Amino acid sequence: MKFIPLIWAGLWRKRTRTIFTLLSIVVAFILFGVLQGVATWLNGFGAGSHTNRLYVVSRISEIQPLPSGYLSHITRVAGVRQVAQVAALVGSYQQPTNTVVVLATDPRALFALYPEWRVAPQQLQALTRTRTGVIVGARVARLYGWRVGDVIPIRTSVLKNDGTTNWSFQVVGIYDSPDQPSEEDRMIANYEYIDEARHFERGTVFAFVVGIDDPSSATRICAAIDARFANSADETLTQDEKEYIQGQIRQLGDVGSLLNAIVGAVFFTLLFLTGNTLTQSVRERIPELAVLKAIGFADGSVTLLVLTEAALLCSAAALIGLLAAAALFPATAALGIAGTTLPAKVYAIGLLIAVGLALMSGLPPAWRAHRLQVVEALAGR
Amino acid sequence: MGFYQQTGAISLMSARSLPRRLGASCVIVVGIAGVVGVLVSILAMATGLIQIANRSAHPDRAVVMSTGTDYETLSNLSRDAVRIIADARGVRRDANNRPLASAEVLVLVHLPLRAGGSGNLTLRGVSANAFALRPELHVVAGRMFNPMLRELIVGRTAQRQFRDLQVGRRLLVRGAEWTVVGVFEGHGDQHESEMMTGVEVLQSTFQRNAFQSVTVQLDSEASFADFRASLAGNPALAIEALRESDYYLRQSRAFTRLLTLVAYLVGGIMAIGAIFGALNTMDAAVSARSVEIATSRVLGFEPGAIVTSVFAEAVGLAALGAGLGGALAWLLFSGHAINTSGGGFTQLSVPVVVDARLVGVGILWACVIGMVGASLPALRAIRAPLASALKAT
């Protein structure tokens, strides 16, 4: 403890150099924090998923439609509590870049399956009464200024029976999802309205969401549903929520390894830089370190002094960098990726890396300090 | 001595002392190699995407889809619409006076990837005229499919990306067996990442009435306006015609933008780090040479010449780093393909293309980093009070 002023003085011996080194490590940790945050978020995506929900899609590919008639068969599979069919209408509002997704479904069943999406009961009731109604997510409602009662035109590529591709919906309610605000971007509409009005693919759905009572029997139920439609033209693939979501993330392919490669390049560059600074600083202080040894410091203490200096520099910079990354991280949500808070795991990994960095860049100069011969060093040889 | 001679003399002097400052000088080289390596690698993917788009695109061809989408997979055209499009003005006709148009159906098929996992491969049903329309596509192994049978041909890139697509293999799609009968090649275009078969067989297998798109050969590049006008006369159709070149650009735009954004964001942040590293190095370089610099000032060297020599050293080291970073990016990634999911749910194989333009961008960045890194130390070199600088040991 009493050596703290000594370490402190050593660090600030050349102020500009320490500040520049500190800042470059800070920058590296900002980059690490954000990139690792995205990677962790991608890997852990679906971790908070609900184990009592299953998803049935076509085995051919997830956008191949399934017959809506499967609903009654799935409902009869043992262990299934509730099923909602989902068809999707992808379109845009006002500008081609304002993409919106309308889910054509049985709203009662869907909101029962997603209890985390909160909607007022009378609004849900209004949707079942209003054929062209829609309950919109709080985020899109805010984004486009939609209020209950508004009629909103949506441009799509889905042809209606009247020959146009423009759809309109009446907002009858707004739902929110406090735990997952990113899920507040959907529009939930009546399947009957959309299916009867569309010209193509009538009587088909995109997926079935299945609610089960006992999550431990999920594997059995998945197999039972798929077995029910085996060897038919439209074979199904049933997965639990986590598998289903991770399957979609996996399609991003090499993106994860790309992020890791970038982080690797950043840290390699950094190790070089920090190591060099520390070596330089020890080299310049050889006479001073020799004096310390001359007045009775043990070899180990001098080594420890140098190492502590490195550790202090690296961990302080890492902490600043990670905090800055945490502040910047929510910005990635605007790009449609990642969440709102930096995962705790990233801090832990970051601090571990900081210690590793300090050891790797600090050991060679510390070793040099350790082996320093007082007489030789003081003589300037 | 003139300014240039002075600058040359001092630069030469500092270059001679470089070996003594090897470690510190390496910081600039390695730091900038890192920045340029990352920047060039990510931009190289965007370049690869644009290259595919350009190779796929022919300005004298047009793609027609339903309005409101950029992706074929989300488009739907009725048989009536298809007929109207093929008969529109500006569409070239073949020797038998049939329009050079191909009405196409797209089905995505989930298949195992060679790299592990699985991805969506496009199975494109094409009309009889499709290969007269796209003369750049040709079968390189096996034979062309028979449009009446459940036979398909596989693009070269798709075959590299997915497992079990060799000629003779059978594929179970929607309860029916399909045979791979050939492999085709374009010149590195989008279609090489697809499979093709006859449109009627595909429609009957999947019980589809709709088509996803129609591609037509125009009389000439200039007849596009005429073609579009002829279709716009019928607003009830709800279709949109695009030049093939615009269509592919539009498709790749979102991903290209994201890649470019990530490249400049990550590269930019790294560059800031590298600037601090460069500042450190040049600071060390200047202080190591403080006596030498002070001496030359006493001898009458202009401050401008001294400043220029510091800049020259930094930029020289930076350019070296840029060359190293660009070379690393090229060695490690060029010719490789990154597998990821593209727009409209299809699997995409993005080639990494490191070209001269990208290396140029890297060198430009390196020079800027070097200049900024040299600025403060250079000022310090000429501002230091002479007397104390000369005394320093």
Distance from CA of A185 to the nearest CA of B (A): 19
Cα–Cα distance list, B307 to B6, B298, B314 (Å): 11, 15, 11
For B305, residues 6+ apart whose C-beta sits below 8 A from its C-beta are B3, B6, B7, B10
The answer to whether residues A164 and A125 touch, using CB atoms and an 8 Å cutoff, is no
**Interface check B76 vs A, CB under 8 A:** yes
Backbone angles phi, psi at B167, to 5 degrees: -60, 135
B296 or A135: which leads in pLDDT: A135
Same domain, residue pair A42 and A80: no
Q: Say if the Cβ atoms of A24 and B274 lie within 8 Å.
A: yes
**Domains of chain A: total:** 2
Q: What are phi and psi of A89, to 5 degrees?
A: -120, 110
B26 lies within 8 A of chain A by CB: yes
CA nearest to A57 within chain B: B110
**Spacing of C-alpha A125 from chain mean position:** 35
Residue A188 lies in a domain: yes
Q: Are residues A206 and A335 in the same domain?
A: no
Distance of CA A353 to the CA centre of its chain: 21
pLDDT tens track for A328-361: 887 776 555 555 677 888 889 888 988 888 888 8
Residues A195 and A314 in one domain: no
Residues of chain B found within 8 Å of residue A328, distances taken between Cβ atoms: none
DSSP string, A14-56: SHHHHHHHHHHHHHHHHHHHHHHHHHHHHHTTTTT--TTEEEE
| Residue to substitute from B43, B69, B105, B372, interface A, most A β-carbons within 10 A | B69
Report the alpha-carbon distance of residue A48 to residue A45 in Å, rounded.
Answer: 8
A57-66, A110-119, A207-216, B2-11: lowest mean pLDDT where? Answer: B2-11
Residue where a domain terminates, one of A233, A265, A292 = A233
Q: Number of helices (H) and strands (E) in chain A: give both, helices first.
A: 15, 11
Are residues A371 and A274 part of one domain?
yes
B66 touches A at CB < 8 Å: yes
Query: Which residues have a Cβ under 8 Å from the Cβ of A76 and sit 6 or more positions away?
Result: none
Q: How far is A320 from chain B (nearest CA, A)?
A: 14
Top-confidence residue, A302 or A127: A127
Q: Which amino acid is at A132?
A: T
Q: Is residue A55, in this structure, part of any structural domain at all? A: no
Q: By the CB < 8 Å criterion, does A18 face chain B?
A: no
**CB A111 within 8 Å of CB A124:** yes
- From the candidates A260, A276, A328, which should be mutated to test the interface with B, based on the most B CB atoms within 10 A? A276
Tokens of residue A211, six digits: 């609610």
Q: Rounded to a whole number, what is the distance in Å from the CA of A195 to chain B's nearest CA?
A: 15
**A218 and A344 co-located in one domain:** no
Distance CA A237, CA A239 (A): 7
Instruction: Name residues whose C-beta falls within 8 Å of residue A348's C-beta, 6 or more positions apart in sequence.
Output: none
Residue A39 lies in a domain: yes
Assess if residue A103 is contained within a domain. Answer: yes
Q: What is the pLDDT of residue A1?
A: 60
Q: Residues A266, B34: contact at Cβ < 8 Å? A: yes
Residues linked to residue A142 through DSSP beta bridges, in sequence order: none
- Give the CA-trace dihedral at A271, A274, A276, A282, to 10 degrees: -130
Q: Do A85 and A211 share a domain, yes or no?
A: yes
Which residues in chain B are closer than 8 Å to A318, comparing Cβ atoms?
A: none
From chain A, pick out residues whose CB is under 8 angstroms from the CB of B350: none
Instruction: Identify whether residues A226 and A257 lie together within a single domain.
Output: no
- For B342, name the nearest residue in chain A, comparing CA atoms only: A252
Planar angle of CA A157, A162, A167, nearest 5 degrees: 45
**B155 contact A CB<8A:** no
Tell whether A242 is covered by a domain.
no
Chain A residues within 8 A of B246 when measuring between CB atoms: none
pLDDT number for residue A57: 93
Q: Is residue A139 part of a domain?
A: yes
In a domain, A224, yes or no: yes
Residues A13, A93, single domain; the answer is no
Tell whether A140 and A35 lie within a shared domain.
Answer: no
Interface A–B counts its CB contacts (< 8 A) at: 175
* Tokens standing for residue B271: 């560059």
Query: How many other CB atoms are there within 10 angstroms of residue A299's CB atom?
Result: 12
Q: Give pLDDT, residue A381.
A: 60
Would you call B277 and A200 a contact, using CB atoms and an 8 Å cutoff?
Answer: no
* A338 CB within 8 Å of a chain B CB: no
Q: Which chain B residues contact residue A255 at CB under 8 A? A: 340
H or E element that contains A278: helix A255-284
Predicted pLDDT of residue A90: 87
Q: Among B31, B78, B237, whose Cβ lies nearest the Cβ of A273? A: B31
Pairwise CB contact (< 8 Å): A201 & B107: no
Give the position of tokens 């130390």: B377
Whether A280 and B24 lie within 8 Å, measured CB to CB: yes
Inter-chain residue contact A17 with B284, CB threshold 8 Å: yes
What does the pLDDT read at residue B2? 79
Which range, of A78-82, A151-155, A333-337, averages the lowest pLDDT?
A333-337
Is residue B345 within 8 angstroms of chain A, CB to CB? Answer: yes
Alpha-carbon span B209 to A322, nearest angstrom: 55
Question: pLDDT of chain B along its 393 residues, tens only?
Answer: 678 888 888 888 878 877 877 777 888 888 899 889 989 988 998 888 888 888 888 889 999 998 878 788 888 898 989 999 999 999 999 888 999 999 999 998 989 888 777 888 899 999 999 999 999 999 999 999 999 999 999 999 899 889 999 999 999 888 889 999 999 998 888 899 899 999 999 999 998 888 999 999 999 999 999 999 998 877 777 888 999 888 888 878 877 888 888 888 888 888 888 888 888 888 888 888 888 888 888 888 888 888 888 899 899 999 999 999 999 888 888 777 777 766 556 677 778 888 889 989 999 999 999 999 999 888 888 888 887 777 765
**Cα B34–Cα A268–Cα A43 angle in degrees, nearest 5:** 95
The answer to whether the Cβ–Cβ distance between A268 and B74 falls below 8 Å is no
* B393 contact A CB<8A: no
| Sign of the dihedral defined by the CA atoms of residues A342, A346, A351, A354, in that order | negative
DSSP category for residue A1:
-
Cα–Cα distances (Å) from B145 to B149, B151, B154, B172, B180, in that order, read 8, 5, 10, 17, 8
Sign of dihedral through CA atoms A205, A206, A212, A214?
A: positive
pLDDT at site B86: 93
Predicted local distance difference test score (pLDDT) of residue B343: 56
Nearest to A251 among B236, B261, B341 (CB): B341
Contact A60 B27 (CB under 8 A): no
Tell me, what amino acid is at B300? G
The helix (run of H) or strand (run of E) holding residue B217 is strand B213-217
Of A173, A204, A233, which marks where a domain is finished?
A233
Q: Point out the residue among A17, A233, A251 whose CB comes nearest to the CB of B119.
A: A251
For residue B179, give the DSSP letter. E
Domain boundary (A181, A203, A233) is at A233
The three-state DSSP-derived secondary structure of A287-349 is HHHHHHHHCCCCHHHHHHHHHHHHHHHHHHHHHHHHHHHHHHCHHHHHCCCCCCCCCHHHHHH
List of chain B residues whose C-beta atoms are within 8 Å of the C-beta of residue A272:
26-27, 30-31
pLDDT at A327 over 90: no
Contacts with B, A 126-155, CB within 8 Å: 155
Q: What is the dihedral of CA B164, B169, B172, B177, to 10 degrees?
A: 170
pTM of the model: 0.79
What is the CA B338 to chain-centroid distance, rounded? 11
Which residue intervals of chain B are DSSP H helices?
3-16, 22-56, 79-86, 130-133, 156-161, 199-205, 224-232, 244-288, 290-298, 303-333, 356-383, 386-391
- Most A-contacting residue of B32, B42, B74, B336 (CB-CB within 10 A), to test interface: B74
Binned at pLDDT 50, 70 and 90, residue A145 comes out as very high
CA–CA–CA angle B272, B278, B280 (5° rounding): 110
Q: Is A149 exposed, middle or buried (0-12, 13-18, 19+ CB in 10 A)?
A: exposed
Q: Assess if residue A141 is contained within a domain.
A: yes
**pLDDT tens per residue across span A204-222:** 999 999 999 999 999 999 9
CB contact under 8 A, A252 and B340: yes
Same domain flag for A227 and A161: yes
Which residue from A minimizes the CA distance to B235?
A164
For A229, nearest residue in chain B (alpha carbons): B175
Tell whether A103 and A225 lie within a shared domain: yes
For residue A17, list chain B residues with Cβ-Cβ distance below 8 A.
280, 283-284
Containing structural domain, residue A131: 65-233
Same domain, A191 and A296: no
At A365, which amino acid appears?
P
Q: Could you give the percent of chain A with pLDDT greater than 70?
A: 93
